[in-house]
Homo-oligomer: A and B are copies of this chain.
Amino acid sequence: MARARKGPLIDPWGSELPEDYVRIIEHFGLEIFTDDLLEALPRPNKLMRRKIVFCHRDLKVIADAIREHKPFYVLTGIMPSAEKLHLGTRMVIENFRYFQEAGAKEAYLLVADLEAVATRGLTLQEARRRALEFYIPAYIALGIDPGKTKFYFQSENRTVLRLMTRFSAKVTMAEMEAIYGQLTPGKVVGALLDAADILYPQVREKMPGVIPVGIDQDPHIRLTRDLVKRTRSEFGFTAPASVYHKFTPSLDGSFKMSKSKPESCIWLPEDPASTERKIWKALTGGRSSLAEQRAKGGQPEKCVVFELFKQHLVEDDRELDQIYEECRSGARICGECKTYATELMREFMEDFKARLEEARSMVKDLEFVQE
């Protein structure tokens, strides 16, 4: 069974990957995020240190570029399909920001407005409105530095249009179905637009790039890497590197926080009274009685509240370590953790809301690349 290897940082909170992730890694030929790679990255963020970033493609290329001060880019996209974001989205931004601060020559944040139109049935006007009123401010509030980021809308980028069209001639329907399952015309267009976005920065300047994504976005990375190979002589693109983080679990303990289960989902933003109520109902690794917990200790590996600390709420590794040890020893009980998580979530949400308001006032001054 594949494991993330033990590293210099004591990693008491589950170095073993759940079966679901192991299957994904093996099936799609991803590379495990090893300690060697962790060491090769300067000042890794908490997602990396804690192996929440658990696999990647070609990240060594980017680590080398960082160390050698060579140009590379980081890119991510906003899909303005819903009215809300949930907590899980934060991790993409945290990784984006990591590479931006680690010296990316260019950082692109694109609005996949056309993809929302093609695959989610939105009108372009609605997609644009949502992006400007909420998504872009939220991404800035979550840590994207607008002064160091290039923004664009797919619908305003003719270079993306041209690349997408070129790519449409370089893949068969059967190959796309093998990656995406059953297709609609909208999905065909959406997937090709995604590949075009990922490679668009290389039209402007030849350099490698890294795409931080949730594992569910890997199909786009696979398609894009195939297309890089098939257009080698024409474009000479470098295959995109990618870095994958685990999902934030649903508060009921299931694999992934999802908008389809609103009671187990933390919105960005959400009212503290509401997050408090949800956190108090969250699945923990607690025992069936206080006496048993004091005697045997809790099971933080199974605890969604601990996962919230690890992925989102606790920055300091030593503090996280301490929570882990206190739980395992039976010194710390679930009520204490829920109270603390509620408090940290309140602070986070208050901070986020204030930043969101500030970011909203900045949006009108943003410049969007038009091509």
Q: Main SS of the interface on chain A?
A: helix
Of all chain B residues, which has the CB nearest A185?
B168
Q: Mark the stretch among A156-164, A240-248, A302-310, A327-335 that contacts chain B.
A: A156-164
CA separation between A169 and B183, bound complex, in Å?
11
The answer to the question of A339 belonging to the interface, with a C-beta cut-off of 8 Å to chain B, is no
The answer to the question of A42 belonging to the interface, with a C-beta cut-off of 8 Å to chain B, is no
Contact assessment for A186 and B169 in the assembled complex, using a CB-CB cutoff below 8 Å: yes
Contact assessment for A184 and B172 in the assembled complex, using a CB-CB cutoff below 8 Å: yes
Contact assessment for B234 and A162 in the assembled complex, using a CB-CB cutoff below 8 Å: no
Of all chain B residues, which has the CB nearest A123?
B234
- For A337, the chain B residues whose CB sits under 8 A away are none
Contact assessment for A189 and B164 in the assembled complex, using a CB-CB cutoff below 8 Å: yes
Choose from B120, B167, B188, B193 the contact partner of A188 (Cβ within 8 Å): B188
The answer to the question of A166 belonging to the interface, with a C-beta cut-off of 8 Å to chain B, is yes
Residues 83-126 of A contacting B (Cβ, < 8 Å): 114, 117-121, 123-124
Q: How large is the interface on A (under 10, 10 to 19, 20 to 34, 35 or more residues)?
A: 20 to 34
- For A169, the chain B residues whose CB sits under 8 A away are 117-121, 184-186
Choose from B123, B183, B188 the contact partner of A189 (Cβ within 8 Å): B188
* Nearest CB of B to A190, in Å: 8
The answer to the question of A192 belonging to the interface, with a C-beta cut-off of 8 Å to chain B, is yes
- For A118, the chain B residues whose CB sits under 8 A away are 165-166, 168-169
- For A155, the chain B residues whose CB sits under 8 A away are 158, 161-162, 165
CA separation between A111 and B166, bound complex, in Å?
16
Of all chain B residues, which has the CB nearest A119?
B169
The answer to the question of A30 belonging to the interface, with a C-beta cut-off of 8 Å to chain B, is no
Choose from B158, B171, B176 the contact partner of A156 (Cβ within 8 Å): B158
Contact assessment for B173 and A185 in the assembled complex, using a CB-CB cutoff below 8 Å: yes
Contact assessment for B166 and A124 in the assembled complex, using a CB-CB cutoff below 8 Å: yes
* Nearest CB of B to A183, in Å: 6
Contact assessment for A168 and B192 in the assembled complex, using a CB-CB cutoff below 8 Å: no
A119, A167, A173, A176 pick with most chain B CB within 10 angstroms: A173
Residues in chain A within 8 A of chain B (CB atoms) = 114, 117-121, 123-124, 155-158, 161-162, 164-169, 171-173, 176, 183-186, 188-190, 192-193, 234
Q: List 11 A-B contacts (CB under 8 A).
A: A117-B169, A118-B166, A118-B168, A124-B166, A155-B158, A156-B158, A158-B161, A161-B161, A167-B185, A171-B185, A173-B185
Supplied contacts A168-B186, A169-B184, 8 more A-B pairs, CB within 8 Å:
A118-B168, A119-B169, A123-B166, A168-B184, A168-B189, A172-B185, A173-B183, A173-B184
